[in-house]
Every structure is written in C-alpha cells, then in structure tokens.
A and B are shown apart, each in its own frame.
Chain A
C-alpha cells in the first residue's frame, strides 16, 4: 500500500492523471480471469481491462459455428476432483465447486454460449475486479529505479484515461485474423464474417483457404449442401490424434477427410497461398491461377487474356471454377498497442503469430511483462496444451506463483515430508495431478531433497524451462539434489507422418518402460541443479538436460499407475538407487529384529517404529509375508540350529533377498491392449 501511495503521488506530481495498480491484466478472457482469480486470492492490488462489456468476448463470436472442441467430460467414474480436471478442458481453476463447467453444459462438445455464461459467472461469483468497456490502445514504459522492474507500465485506454502498473499481464489472446494478400484476394470472404447458414451455400462450389479446425469446421457446416468443397493450405493436414496436439485437426471436424478419401467430390490440396491468384469471370465465377501468370500480363486486358493453368496442363486439379472462396487462416497476437520500447517481437517461423517470451512466460525484452493464455503458446506450440484453457489455467497459476515469490516474498508453495513418503508422493501426483497431465513436458513437479535424504520438499507444477533458475524463482533451496517429475509421450511416437496404431505400440513391461509411447510419468534425478548452460545444451527433443539417472514409469492403458509390481516397485528401486538407501516398508516385528541386531535401521523403521508408529500388521498379513518368504516365522517349535553358520549376521536381510518367490507378470495380458 505504501508503494501504491508513493506511486500515486508521483503520478500526480508529473501532472498526468494515472490510476495506479500493482498488477494490470489486459483482457478478461479465460486467462485474464484466471490470473485475476489468483491475484484476488492472494489479496493483491490488481485490475483487469476488458474492451467489451462482458468477459470472454472472443467466445461471443467464435467459433462461428458455436461448437467448442474442448471436451466436457462429465463422467469419469472417479470422484477425485483433481483427476477429473484431466478430462474437463473448459473449467478454470478455483476453489468454488459451482464453477465447474459440467454444471454449464451437458454436451461433450459444448456450445460456445455456455463458455460465455461460464466466464460471466466466474467473474461475478468470484467478484473479480474487471473494468469493462476499457480498450487499452497503447502501452508504454516509464523508467523508474524505484519500480519493481525498473520501470512502470503506462496504459492508455480509448478515452485517453491513463493507468500505471508495476507488472503487466497480457491476456489478450490471439484475435487478429491472419490474412494473405494475392491478386484477387479481394474476392475472398473471411471466416469472421462468412455466412453460417448452410442454405446460402446450396449448390455452390467452395474453396476454403486454410487447413485448421476453423477451416474444417466451416466445411463441416456446408458439406451437405455444396457441389463440392476444396481446401488449400501450405502444410499437410495434421490430425490431432496422430500428433497428440489438440490444436491440430480434431476428429470431430474431419468429415471432409472422409468425403475426400471416399471420392465424394470434396478434396484437399497442398500449396503455398502466396503463389495463388484468383480471377473472376464475367459470370462471377472464381478461377484459380498462379501469381506468376498474372505478373507477365498486361493488366488492362480482361479475364480472357489471363493464362489459366489448365491451358497448359489440361488435367490441372483446381480447373473447375468456384462460387466462393473462404479464408480460414486463424489468428495472431495484436502487436500494435505496444510502444517500441517494449520490444514486443513476433516469434520466428511458425510462431510468428505469438510474441516472443521466455519459458517463464515473461517477455524476452521487457521485465515485468508476462504473457498469459493463448498468446503464451509459443512456449509449447504444437507440443502441449499451453494455448488452450486446459493448459494455460496451470501456466497462469505458475506465473502467479513466480510473481508472488518475486514481488511479495511468498516462496513457491511446498510441503515437506519424511523420505518414507517419497514413493507415495510421486505415485499420488502422477495418478491425479491434472497440471502435469495437461501441460506434459512443460510443467513438472520438483522434489528437493533435504540433507542426508531424510526428508524432501515437494513443489508442484513448476515451468521446467526455467529449472536452472529454480532457487531465485521459487525462493526454495536445492543444495542436495532434486527429482523432476514430468509426463512425456514417447519421443518418436507421434507426428504427422507416423502410424500411431501400429501393432505393439504399447509397452507392457516395466523393464522396457523407457520405450513407452503414450503419455507416462518420467522422473529425472539431478545431484545438483542444472545450470542455464546445461539447459541450453540439452539433447534435442528433451525437456531437460541429461540427468544423473532417469526413470520411466511404464505407460498404462488406464493411466492408472498404482500397480505394486509394474509401477511402484521399479519406481522405488530407482529412488532407492538415487538416494542410496532402502525404502522398503517393514512390519514392526522386522524393525524389532533390526533394532536388536543392526546398529542402523532402515528409514521406514527409523521414522515409524522407533517413533512408536510401528506397523504391527494383522495376523493374516503376517502369515502372507511369511509365505512369501519375506518374513521369518520364529514361532516354529522345531529349532535345531540347522542353518549354516555363515548366515548369522543379518540373516533376516539375507532372507529378504533370497527367498522371494518369483511372480511372473502375465505378459499376454499386459500386452493384450494392442490386439
């Protein structure tokens, strides 16, 4: 507050009327509201600017055909609320159980209006501070050594009202339509305005530019009434079930693939749109030709003088004229409102629609400016879910936690557990955590070991790209090594050209877990925190540098990693070998024996039995352990000392090692899922 007052007074002195807030959020879409929620819960001074009169204005218009392609799975057979978020792609994170999307729609692919209603409720029920009808039209910096980041952000709205903030969270999404310019592009209709009434397309021949979900969504809508639809784009169609990327073409929209492959007149073509040209004939039909044919032409001549490809090549594919050409090329970030001093630069290559940011979601050039939501997707474009609600709700939380630590001295939330709970903690998280699951390869749980590995500290969902900066970003110390728990797909499994249904695609045996293809937990062990250099030089395709040891938990058909022998046992062995200790659990009786026969006790006995929390166990369990050869039964009356003398010391341990009865995995069942 002191700072705020100070800042306000400063503003007044300089003559301009600034309204000051610690945090300014631009955009009251899903990510802006998500950020507002966390700021509100933390009691921070913030405001959200929204140019429309209501939140989520993008969803009021888009998708044009109103069907969201993010799943709203209302039933999972489980009550675990964290787990259920794995299959709820629309809800934002909050403590309020009313704000679960399944209360807003019964549809698996809900109507976009449900999202609008949901966002309205989210803002109002949680009393988020959103200033509507405020369009920020300019953002600039004011240098000030006193400011959190060495500068303040000065925002100007459409009414020339100025605002001043210490930290700027950009949650504007990508809403500027991508357009291409080529001769004849004036005949092209945009996705934003094209009619959505199929009647308007009856008996027409349509060319769609673009190969994304909006293009297919448009095609799907008019498929039944058109003569035929052709689609053109530079890249081949990428199917999301083949790439594991939800931004690629979803099966729900791919009706046109069906009719193309079944030769029902519709079709797909590849080619660069910039080489294209469209000419309109006298009847108003649109013909496709090539830009370089036009370049050689006398512009004054009419349509008849234009060379069409079919003049030279009489089986040219798109020789039939079109009635309409529709552009469905997606959106890009609005770079226009930022002063040059902020240096908001577009990304490279296929990421040019997003601003350049670091893996911490902070702008590459302006400290204190964070990009949230869809616009932050450059971090994991075509990889993970950071461009979608079910992904950025977690990255937004991560950004909030980074800010809490940076500006308010609130370290990253963590819990401390005794080392005996290590295996359990990991198993619990990999089975239920939704952030790890959705933001696979991007967000990771971090386990910081305490001295002598007797305890550990658990941090959830840290952006793994800034692992090297962990200590400064979280306020937690990592002097004794760490584990990084992350989820990954198999490295060579998915991709545009791969067959994701090949036989034996699923690995069933724990010993081959590293070859798992489907999403599965991976645990990296580092004896010390990787440096930034090591992060930079990490192997290609790896989210992290080479660890000191790595463990893959074998993929599971049910994504249920709680099998004692296939999942937990190999994980325990991995942890034991990293920590150089024995993490088995023991009945009180075994601890009693160890207490009298060994100078040292295993951690389970030390942290349980010795502290009077021994696991006595029921008689039935004791008998099972004896039958398994893992516990010696001394009640036998016949005791003639017939063991060889060498098994004297640590005989129990010997017993544990030698007498295990092999339990062969049922391999045919394990692999049955491939059939």
Chain B
C-alpha cells in the first residue's frame, strides 16, 4: 500500500505493475480487493507487482480524482500506462492473471477474429517458426490464463494466436470439437514450405492447463524420430519422462531409408501420444527374433520391452492407442465401477474348461447313436436279460465329460458293430434318475458291463475308444480261460488262441497248475475275476502241465507271461499268494521294462512314485539306444526309477513337455531325468555323450552326488481358481447397505402390529404384514370406497390405536 507519490516514484522502467487507486473506505470494492490481493503472488512470478494506492482525500489528480477512475485498475510498464481494466473484468485470480498477461504479451499473443487474420499470420510464419493456436470460449477463464502463462514462457519460441471465435475453431477443421471447451493446436509451420497448404496441426488431447500445455509443447519440441544405437532398455527420451510410451522401429542397414520413412510416418500419427525411435539392429546386439520389427517400451519401471511382429503401421498406432485406452480405463476404474465389472466380466464369462468348450462346439453335430440302445426305467432290466453282455453308459445329457465319453462310445459301437453277444446301451440319468440311483451310479459318467442275469463290472479304465473296446472284447472271454490241451495252451501263449482276441494287443498270462495245487488255482481264478477285461488269463492243468512249465524253467504252480505275441515268455513261480497279491503281481509283471510312454499308459507307471528317465525321440529310437536302455533298466532289479522312452511322433504332447523343460527345443533324441515326485528337478543328459549304459550310470552317479545343475525345476504351484467369481455378496452390500448389519429393527416396521417378540422369535416370517398395513392405512384416495361401513370403522379404530401409542 503506497501513497500516489510513493507509487509513481517507485516505478522502474521495464517493470510492470498493476495499481488500484482508492480512497480509504470504498466498501463496494471490497471483494475486488480481495481477489487482487490473492493474485499478487501469481503475478509476482511474472515480475508484476500489485499495488494498492491510497489516495488522500483532497487529491484530485488523474487517478485519484475522478469517481469512475476508482472503479478501475491500471497496468503500467515503467511509468507508461498500458491498459486500464474495469474492476468487473477482474473477477477472480484467473481473470486477473489472464487479462494482465494478455495486455503485457500483446506481441507474443496475437488475438484474431477472422480466418483471414489467422491465415495471414500462419503464412507469415511458414518456414520461420511454429504457431500455437488456442481457442477459448471466453477471456478471463482458467484456460485463458493457462494459455497466457504458456505464452509467457514460450512466447519467444512460438507464435501464440488466441481467439474466442467458435467459427474459427470450426474453420480450422475441428468440426467434432465442442465449442464450449477450450482447444489448443500446435501448428508445425517452421517446416512448412507450401504456401498454399495450411501448416500441419497437432491438437492437444487434454484439457487446457498450464501443465498440459507445457507438456504438449515439450513433446512438439522433441525430435520427430530419435535415432538409437544402444540397448533400448537404456534409452530414455522426453516421451518416457513424460509418461508416454516409446515405439522402436527396428531397422536394418538394407532397409534403412524405408524404415526411416515408416518411422516418420508413424511419428506424425503418434505425435503427442508416443515417441518414435529408429533402432538399427546392426549396431546393437539384440537377443531377439529376426522377425520382430517393432518394440514397445512403456514408461512404467520394470516392465520389459515388448518385441512384436506387426503387419502395418495401423497396428503400431492401435498398439499405442489401445494402450492408452486401457490406461484410461484403469484410471477411471475407481470412479466407475461399471467399467470395472465390464472388464472383469470379459474374462469371467468366457469358458476356460477345454472339455466343456469342446463339447459345446460339437453339440450341433448329430452323433451316430443308432448302434447304441437307449434304456429307460421300464426297459432297463429286460434289456439286460436279452444279451450275454450289456454295456451300459450312464451319463447326463447336460454334463460335458459324460458327453465327451459318449462320443468315444459311439466309436466303440462302430468298432464292435456285429460282434455277437455284446449290446451297447446308454441311460440318461437326467431322464431316469431312479435307474442311476438304483445302479449305484454316483459319478458321471459311469460304464458298467452286465453279464446276463449275473454280476456286473464297473469299467475303471481310460475313457478312450481303444481302451474301452479292448476291455469289452477281453471281458467277453472268461478270465481265466480254461485251456483243454497243450496245443491250446501253446497257441494261447503265441496270442493265436482264442482267435477273436488276436487283433487286440495285450499281455497273456497262463497259469500252469498240477491238479494238486488247488489253493494257488483258486487264488488265480479270483485274480482273474478282478482283472477281467484288462489282461487275458489262461489256465492249464492238463497232463502236460509239468512239461509245459519246464520249458520255461519253472515248475507248477507257475505263471507264464507272454509279451508281444509270444516272442518272449517269462516263467514265474507261484507260491502261496492271496488273490490280491496275485493281482498286484500280475499288474506289476505285465508292465514293460522299458516302455514307450504314452498318454494312455503313463498313469500305470506314475503310481510307483519314482523318478523318470525318459528318452525323447522323434520317431522310433535306434536299436542301439534301445539295447543300452534295456540293459540299464534290466540291470537294476530294484527299479529305483522308471526308464522309458517317448515317441514325439506318436505322443506329440511330449514337445510341450520339452518346451517346458528347456527354453528351446533340444536336439533329439534327448535323455532326461525328472524327479517327478521329489523336488521336481529336471536334468538333461549331456548331448555330447553317447547314450550307453555306462555313460548313463556315471551321469546318474553325478546326479545323485549333486554335481549336476538342473535344467529346470517343475512348478510347485497349487491349482488355484483360474479366475475370480462374481462377488454377489459385495454387489448386494453395495445395493442394500443395511445387509451386513445385525438387525434388531426393520425400517418402517410397525411396532403396534408386532409387540416385542419373544427371544428366538421367528424373524424370517415377521416382515410381510408391514407392507400390508401400510397399504391399508395410506389407502390411496382414488380407490377409497367412500362411506363404506368397514372403511369408516377402520378409520375410527386407527385413531384409537394411535392414541394407544
């Protein structure tokens, strides 16, 4: 606060000041004074001082004298008056700062009203400097202030042009924009050469704030395309610093010119949204695919660069813009829960169960079910009596797994078409729950094989066409099968007898008994019952039993085990085993020593809980490898591990296994040791060594001693829910906030109808009458049965009730 003399004497040349002259008390100017005081600090930043000049009462000079002069503020530069403002134009800090700067930056910020003016300025600037064109709906607004503040900082670099004419905004090609909001365009006139064409423009997407304008101008000032010759992880540009992504166009010497053009094209499209860099692969040693042509670096720390193979420039742009979109959604999330819902639901309602999805994709195909008899509650029992063997599939028409099995079942039916004595049938448990309950079907699907009027067997093998077919066929033959002659017995071992089974690959077991050994025979027969369908078992106790067993260096009771069509027969002596022991032994003995592991047979080997030594091979393994591995497997009678091989041609999913073990496909064949059940380490047999028993053994020694480093370790992760569920509880709580409260009283309940209930009163039933009471009491007038006795009486009574309350 100064006196007029003090003020005028303090003015320095070149320094701007805003002065307000007042006599001591002028109550009307009070709010204005407050605003002007508030703006003092902001204006200080621009070197403008704000002064309140106290006019002495008798002063009648230029500024103090006239009454209406007191309603104005004056802007001076030095002692030169630049502008006088009516106080009502300076209604708040924004308007004060905007108007003051507007007046001071008269040259830096051109105000235009017509398109012609704008074009003139633009043309004049071409080839010289860039232009910042701003539209504000009105002066004195926050946006206007932001533009002026930016002009204060950048006015010497770019030419600022301001308008409040909405038509001008439209004429510059911003048809879509809403004239009620301010806009700012950066016009690239410096590089413009063609006088006829307007300068290229880049609109600012964000709202007009000082910070956003600053950011935009910074981005416009950055080089269009940055050339990079270092590790992209280390590159940092103004874009990344400002939180925008950086797109690398990967270039090679041969295509540099084209890539440069592409980069520039993309850069123009992405101007203001992302930076573009041109990376020469020749100069940087990148460990990436040759095919990759674009990389994306995001400003977030710790996010690795993504290398991509993109087809055209549109994809690059979508890449960035979608990224922005996603980010936007993430930002909006907190405000807008609907969006969140939507986003979550995008995944939640997508089927991620491979079986269910596969079955529903197949549902329109009509299944060839002619061969399979439909059974009902009425026909079930009679049907079982008609054929020697009835196979029944219990399923549910809505259940995916059982429908998947039904598909395999139709294939089985096709294989077995015309086979005598076997009837394939099905029961839909959705139609006939009674049958399924009675037949003790607790899981879907279930397959049972009923023997005419006798027992039934539950199928407990793989749900595959081959396995099921073989099971049905094998179980047709009694197990064990009594062989009458030595010829039959030998034919049986060769796999030629019984002839109907010759086409089904299986292991044949022959029990050889002298008539005396009935105990072992009984156990053998019992074991046969249990194993029926899984193996074939024969039984011979003829005169030549002794001779037959001698041939295989055992004496009766003995078990002869014929693998692969009788090419190798093993003799095993039987002692006093129970049927269960015998089952276990037969199951174990019928396993191969060095099996080819397949999807179907893996579980049989998994059950031992031992490590696996697997030879992965593309096609059959060589005889040499086979011989060495067999030696290895046989040489260790205690079987500390399962030695096996995997044919990638037959079991392609083995590639998936290798992919998981090693980042890249190793050269084949490859020998791998996997501790499936203990620790999950995977070791790879050195590829430079040849696969011989000796090499493997010494390698295994080293493994045991901990001298080898595992190639990878199997994930220990639990199987968690793949996706969250709908949180209905939370949705309900949001919608009905009183829900979590432990209730004592309900809102709007009418106490007169409900005297305090005894503790443990039935709360569930008590609420309904309240609505009814309300409805009656209010009784909308239009519906009122005017003057009826009941209504009259009710009113009377109500009065009474209220008085009681």
A interface residue numbers (CB < 8 A to B): 78-82, 232, 235-236, 269-272, 275-276, 288-292, 309, 313, 315-318, 348-351, 359, 378-383, 415-418, 421, 424, 427-428, 431-432, 465, 495-497, 510-511, 513-514, 536-543, 546-547, 549-552, 562, 564-565, 568-570, 572-574, 576-577, 580-582, 584-590, 592-593, 595-603, 609-618, 620-622, 624-625, 627-628, 630-635, 639, 641-645, 648-652, 656-657, 660-663, 665
Render B705-720 as a binary contact track against A, CB cut-off 8 A, 1 for contact.
0000000101111111
B721 with A288: CB separation less than 8 A = no
Out of B432, B716, B738, B789, which one reaches A79, CB within 8 Å? Answer: B432
Out of B346, B606, B718, B786, which one reaches A595, CB within 8 Å? Answer: B606
A80 with B349: CB separation less than 8 A = no
Out of B360, B431, B603, B719, which one reaches A564, CB within 8 Å? Answer: B360
A289 with B789: CB separation less than 8 A = yes
The 5 tightest CB contacts between A and B, nearest first, are A271-B790, A616-B464, A562-B398, A275-B793, A576-B721
B348 with A592: CB separation less than 8 A = no
> How many Å lie between the Cα of A222 and that of B655 in the bound state?
84
Between A316, A417, A418, A634, the greatest number of chain B beta carbons within 10 A of the residue's beta carbon is seen for: A634
Residues of chain A within 8 A of B221, CB atoms compared: none
> How many Å lie between the Cα of A78 and that of B397 in the bound state?
13
CB of B43 to closest CB in A, whole Å: 55
A272 with B794: CB separation less than 8 A = yes
> How many Å lie between the Cα of A158 and that of B244 in the bound state?
96
B interface residue numbers (CB < 8 A to A): 289, 291, 307, 341, 345-362, 365, 376-377, 396, 398-401, 404-405, 407-408, 411, 429-434, 442-444, 460-467, 599-600, 602-604, 606-607, 612, 651-657, 659-661, 663-665, 674, 676, 680, 712, 714-729, 731-732, 738-743, 746, 753-754, 757, 759-760, 762-765, 767-769, 771-772, 775-776, 785-794, 796-797
Given A574-B725, A592-B602, the answer on whether A621 and B348 have CB atoms closer than 8 Å is no
B405 with A615: CB separation less than 8 A = yes
Given A235-B772, A599-B716, A610-B606, the answer on whether A618 and B728 have CB atoms closer than 8 Å is no
CB of B10 to closest CB in A, whole Å: 69
Given A275-B790, A565-B349, A663-B351, the answer on whether A79 and B376 have CB atoms closer than 8 Å is yes
A-B contact pairs, 16 of them (CB 8 A): A270-B785, A275-B790, A316-B789, A432-B433, A543-B764, A564-B400, A565-B351, A573-B724, A592-B599, A613-B460, A616-B462, A616-B466, A621-B359, A621-B362, A649-B660, A660-B351
A318 with B788: CB separation less than 8 A = yes
> How many Å lie between the Cα of A432 and that of B431 in the bound state?
10
A270 with B463: CB separation less than 8 A = no
CB of A304 to closest CB in B, whole Å: 19
Out of A290, A635, A642, which one reaches B652, CB within 8 Å? Answer: A635
CB of B362 to closest CB in A, whole Å: 6
Given A290-B792, A349-B753, A641-B663, the answer on whether A81 and B785 have CB atoms closer than 8 Å is no
Residue of B nearest to A586 (CB): B354
> How many Å lie between the Cα of A486 and that of B787 in the bound state?
47
Residue of B nearest to A588 (CB): B599
Out of A79, A382, A569, A597, which one reaches B349, CB within 8 Å? Answer: A569
Given A82-B433, A617-B358, A618-B408, the answer on whether A546 and B660 have CB atoms closer than 8 Å is no
> How many Å lie between the Cα of A588 and that of B790 in the bound state?
75
Given A418-B443, A618-B465, the answer on whether A540 and B718 have CB atoms closer than 8 Å is no
Residues of chain A within 8 A of B408, CB atoms compared: 616-618
B757 with A616: CB separation less than 8 A = no
CB of B261 to closest CB in A, whole Å: 28
B443 with A618: CB separation less than 8 A = no
CB of A239 to closest CB in B, whole Å: 13
Residues of chain B within 8 A of A379, CB atoms compared: 762, 765
CB of A659 to closest CB in B, whole Å: 10
B349 with A665: CB separation less than 8 A = yes
Task: Knowing that A309-B789, A574-B725, A628-B354 touch, tell me 6 more A-B residue pairs with CB under 8 angstroms.
Answer: A315-B786, A317-B786, A577-B725, A597-B660, A621-B407, A625-B354
Given A580-B720, A584-B354, A630-B354, the answer on whether A650 and B345 have CB atoms closer than 8 Å is no
> How many Å lie between the Cα of A390 and that of B657 in the bound state?
57
B603 with A610: CB separation less than 8 A = yes
> How many Å lie between the Cα of A159 and that of B399 in the bound state?
61
B664 with A641: CB separation less than 8 A = yes
Given A276-B790, A383-B765, A660-B350, the answer on whether A550 and B729 have CB atoms closer than 8 Å is yes
Residue of B nearest to A645 (CB): B663
> How many Å lie between the Cα of A348 and that of B755 in the bound state?
10
Residues of chain A within 8 A of B794, CB atoms compared: 270-272, 275
Residues of chain B within 8 A of A235, CB atoms compared: 772, 776
B659 with A656: CB separation less than 8 A = no
Residues of chain B within 8 A of A351, CB atoms compared: 765
CB of A552 to closest CB in B, whole Å: 6
Residues of chain A within 8 A of B790, CB atoms compared: 232, 269-272, 275-276
CB of A16 to closest CB in B, whole Å: 36
Residues of chain B within 8 A of A538, CB atoms compared: 743, 763-764
Out of B358, B431, B725, which one reaches A628, CB within 8 Å? Answer: B358
CB of A646 to closest CB in B, whole Å: 8
> How many Å lie between the Cα of A615 and that of B464 in the bound state?
7
Between B463, B741, B776, the greatest number of chain A beta carbons within 10 A of the residue's beta carbon is seen for: B463
Residue of B nearest to A656 (CB): B352
Residues of chain B within 8 A of A593, CB atoms compared: 653, 656-657, 660
CB of A112 to closest CB in B, whole Å: 29
Residues of chain A within 8 A of B727, CB atoms compared: 549
> How many Å lie between the Cα of A662 and that of B404 in the bound state?
22
A624 with B361: CB separation less than 8 A = yes
> How many Å lie between the Cα of A643 and that of B309 in the bound state?
12
Out of A82, A565, A612, A657, which one reaches B462, CB within 8 Å? Answer: A612
CB of A180 to closest CB in B, whole Å: 13
Residues of chain A within 8 A of B674, CB atoms compared: 596
CB of B204 to closest CB in A, whole Å: 35
Residue of B nearest to A610 (CB): B603
Out of A81, A597, A614, which one reaches B603, CB within 8 Å? Answer: A614
> How many Å lie between the Cα of A581 and that of B376 in the bound state?
37
Out of B355, B652, B732, which one reaches A585, CB within 8 Å? Answer: B355
Residues of chain B within 8 A of A642, CB atoms compared: 289, 291
Given A617-B358, A645-B663, A657-B352, the answer on whether A634 and B653 have CB atoms closer than 8 Å is yes
Out of B443, B444, B787, B797, which one reaches A315, CB within 8 Å? Answer: B787
B349 with A510: CB separation less than 8 A = yes
CB of B467 to closest CB in A, whole Å: 7
